[in-house]
Amino acid sequence: MRTDIIDAAARLLQEQGVRAVTTRAVAEAAGVQAPTIYRLFGDKDGLIDAVAEHVMATYVATKTTEAADDPVAELRAGWRVHIEFGVANPDLFRLLHTSPRPSPATAAGIDVLRRRIRRLAAAGLLRVDEQRALDMIHAAGTGTVFALLATPPGERDPGLADALFDAVCTGLLTTTAPARDDGVATAAVTFLTVLADLPALTDAERALMAEWLTRSLARLRNP
């Protein structure tokens, strides 16, 4: 029954847009009573979250994003899936990224991005700290989708997404341009990544070292 309700809501969203996804309409399309939706999902927001997770999981399952030996290629593949998903599901994408309430589906996507950025940092490829990298990529990816959605399909630049990815990576990765800090920031970011695994240090010593490295990175960004 839960699956039938999610499928019905997803069809309404895809075919008629966000406004069509009312509790009454979904209940009718799924052949259930409205109280059943509240019992299974809590409220309409809970239903939308379930729809988002279902649609995203179904879409991502059709894509290959792993590039185990190349964290940069893995990041690029994930970027493309994000852009393609947003363009293919405009109503859902707008709903997820304009709602004041954080969506579990969005949070799950950010967690995946965070793990990919950690791989870059561990490989010594980041020239900024991990949180800055995550914020930049997430903002750029979301903005790219909205820019494409604001353009009529026949007028969209097919190379825009890849060009923006390359532009963002120029500021993030040591592999795209010479580092202005001669590798100091890259070393600090990499050290922060492995700090928790260093032996023979107390928690207090790790915290102090993390504070020093974070302060140094902030000074390098804003001399």
Rounded distance between C-alpha atoms, residue 27 and residue 8, angstroms: 8
How many structural domains is the chain composed of?
2
Same domain flag for 200 and 109: yes
Same-domain check for residues 118 and 162: yes
Residues in contact with 125: Cβ distance below 8 Å, sequence separation at least 6, in sequence order: 71, 72, 173, 174, 175, 186
pTM beyond 0.85, yes or no: no
In the chain, the amino acid numbered 22 is T
Express each pLDDT in 200-217 by its tens digit: 778 888 788 888 778 777
CB 127 within 8 A of CB 179: yes
Q: How confident is the model over 67-103, as pLDDT tens digits?
A: 567 899 999 999 999 999 999 999 889 888 887 777 8
Claim to verify: residue 77 and residue 110 sit in the same structural domain = yes
Any domain includes 16 = yes
Task: For residues 213 and 125, state if they share a domain.
Answer: yes
Give residue 29's pLDDT.
93
Q: What is the span of the domain harbouring residue 102? A: 69-221
pLDDT at residue 66, as a whole number = 56
pLDDT at 178: 39
Claim to verify: residue 73 and residue 40 sit in the same structural domain: no
64 within some domain: no
Together in a domain, 103 and 172: yes
Residues 116 and 55 in one domain: no
Averaged over 5-32, what is the pLDDT?
Answer: 89
Contact 169, 149 (CB under 8 A): no
Residues 36 and 119 occupy one common structural domain: no
Conformation bin of residue 31: beta by default, left when phi > 0, alpha when psi is -120 to 50:
left
Q: Any idea what the CATH number is for the domain that residue 55 is in?
A: 1.10.10.60
- What is the C-alpha end-to-end distance of the chain, expressed in Å? 59
* Domain annotation covers residue 190: yes
Q: 16 and 92 in one domain? A: no
pLDDT of residue 168: 94
Share of the chain above pLDDT 90, in %: 40
112 and 24 in a common domain: no
